Structure 1
Amino acid sequence: MIKLVSFVFELLRLCILLILTLLILGGLEREIYRLIFGNPIYLWSMTLGNMILFLVVYRNYFQFKGWYKSENNKKLKKSSTISLITFSMVLLLIPIWIN
């Protein structure tokens, strides 16, 4: 029962962190692109890139600081981390190539 409650709290924490991350990064990117190009740009690719960045940060850092403890919690491999971050950066830079 305690594992279930801690899992539910961790799931709620994950959702709140995801929403905050998307709002903060999305607003920051929108302002940066507005300053560079004169109009705010925000595409679906940027949201997907931010979600991938959140996945990397969560798997490598936040999952170890939460309420739900498991022996299955492991960091991403270094090659996976680098690949995901590179792919995320490409998705974040797509609006520059489109404009």
Structure 2
Amino acid sequence: MIKLGSFIVELFRLCVLLVLTLFILGGVERLVYQSIFGQPLYNWSMGLGNLLIFFMLYRNHFQFKGWYKSEKNVKLPILTTRIITVISLGLIILPIGLSLSL
């Protein structure tokens, strides 16, 4: 019963962290793109890139700071972390290329 309770609290914590992370990253990206291009720029690819960054952050850092403890909690391999980082940064930068081609 304690395991179920800690899982539910951890699930709520995950949702709060997801919303906060996406809000902060989206705001920073809009601010940077507005200062560079003079208008706020946001695309679906940036949201997907932010989700990938959150996934990487959660698996490598946040899951070890929470209430739910399990022997299955392991960090992502370094190669996977690097691949996710490159893909997410590419998705975040993609709207620049799309706006320049128009």
Same fold at TM > 0.5 = yes
| Paired position in structure 1 for 2:49 | 49
| Paired position in structure 2 for 1:87 | 87
* Aligned residue-pair number: 99
| Paired position in structure 2 for 1:71 | 71
- How far off is 1:96 after superposition? 0.6
Q: 2-side partners of 1:24 and 1:63: how far apart?
A: 19
Q: 1-side partners of 2:62 and 2:89: how far apart?
A: 21
Identity rate, percent: 57
> Are 2:22 and 1:22 equivalent residues in the alignment?
yes
Q: 2-side partners of 1:23 and 1:86: how far apart?
A: 21
Off by >6 Å, runs of 4+ in structure 1: none
Q: Please give the secondary structure, in 1, of the residue aligned with 2:69.
A: coil
User: Which blocks of at least 5 consecutive residues in structure 1 are unaligned?
Assistant: none
| Paired position in structure 2 for 1:97 | 97
> Are 2:11 and 1:11 equivalent residues in the alignment?
yes
Q: 2-side partners of 1:86 and 1:29: how far apart?
A: 17
TM-score (ref. length: structure 1): 0.99
- How far off is 1:15 after superposition? 0.2
Code of the aligned partner of 2:94: I
Q: Please give the secondary structure, in 2, of the residue aligned with 1:73.
A: coil
Q: 2-side partners of 1:12 and 1:44: how far apart?
A: 25
User: Which blocks of at least 5 consecutive residues in structure 2 are unaligned?
Assistant: none
RMSD: 0.4
